[in-house]
Amino acid sequence: VGCAAAAPMSSFDEQARRAIAADVHMISGSHDSQTSADVFNVSAFSLPDPAGRAGGACTSALLQVLHENHDNPGEQLTWVSTLRRMRTVLQGMGYDQVPQLTSSRLIDVNEPMHIVPPGSTGARRAILVGINYIGQRGELSGCHNDAKNIGNYLEQYHGFQPADMLILMDDGQHHSPTKRNLMNAFERITQYSQPGDVVFMHYSGHGGRIPDDNGDEDDGYDETLIPVDVEQVGQIRDDDILKVLVRPMPGGVTMTCLMDCCHSGTVMDLPYRFTADGDVMERNDGVSFDRLGGLGEAAVGLACCLLCLSALLDG
């Protein structure tokens, strides 16, 4: 299990580095063709002091694995062990989801998993999105708790400060997770981030698939995020996420994303992937580098906290 990390860099690898400057890793709860699960009682996942009685299966499984590792610090989690332990937890609860890692780099998945790289001294920022779709068809029950639990974990173990964690939830107390607010948050965090910084992006809500509109998907579908105002403004395509969040993120930034939604396997269109039921990290040959190369200039870094960003969002 691993990758051909020792082999000479291929043309594909070089194009990937030119197309996406940042080190981006995304953990998702399922393949593109799979659905995720909304777990009614996260206490079954042995979460410490869960923020509520409901949470997403992927988020809860990852948090259980991470908390257990912090309780037993002698063992270093790798990407492989993290995903496989997540799957074991999910299977124990009766779910057949297969966690997946996609990345902007061909990495050795047997190397330690780090949300914050060792020796990191840069800023740490997070965007945490939880959408329950209150009062709508398809209402969920656990996504607000997912966002709160992830925020508590980042603050407790990784030194993220509340002022640097932007929370979007449809609870009437935080900024609403509308399409406009989500896209503004993605755009601004790339502008604020500078080399050496760490970004964590978490999304818990509905995901979808709609027909591909530019011919860049092997399966003919774009994966999507579903904002709270989807019926008025539509879905957020994976192409949009790539263009606004992934591609402009500056080099030297480490960004980890957790996507707890249906059809989330390649929702960030990253060039490499590894699944918990696989053996090696593989190239995503469906990535179009010609399209990646035409997304505009890199964003200019601004030294700001996310309190500045929140002032730019709608209520």
- Examine the residue annotation and report whether 206 is marked as an active-site residue of this protein: yes
Q: What are phi and psi of 222, to 5 degrees?
A: -90, 140
- Examine the residue annotation and report whether 308 is marked as an active-site residue of this protein: no
CB contact set of 257 (below 8 Å; sequence gap of 6+): 24, 25, 26, 27, 200, 201, 202, 203, 268
CA distances from 170 to 126, 131, 140, 200, 217 (A): 18, 6, 11, 20, 31
Catalytic residue of the set 206, 257, 261, 263: 206
Contact 113, 64 (CB under 8 A): no
Radius of gyration of the chain (CA): 18
Catalytic residue of the set 58, 257, 261, 262: 262
CB contact set of 249 (below 8 Å; sequence gap of 6+): 20, 21, 22, 24, 190, 193, 199, 255, 299
* Catalytic residue ranges: 206, 262
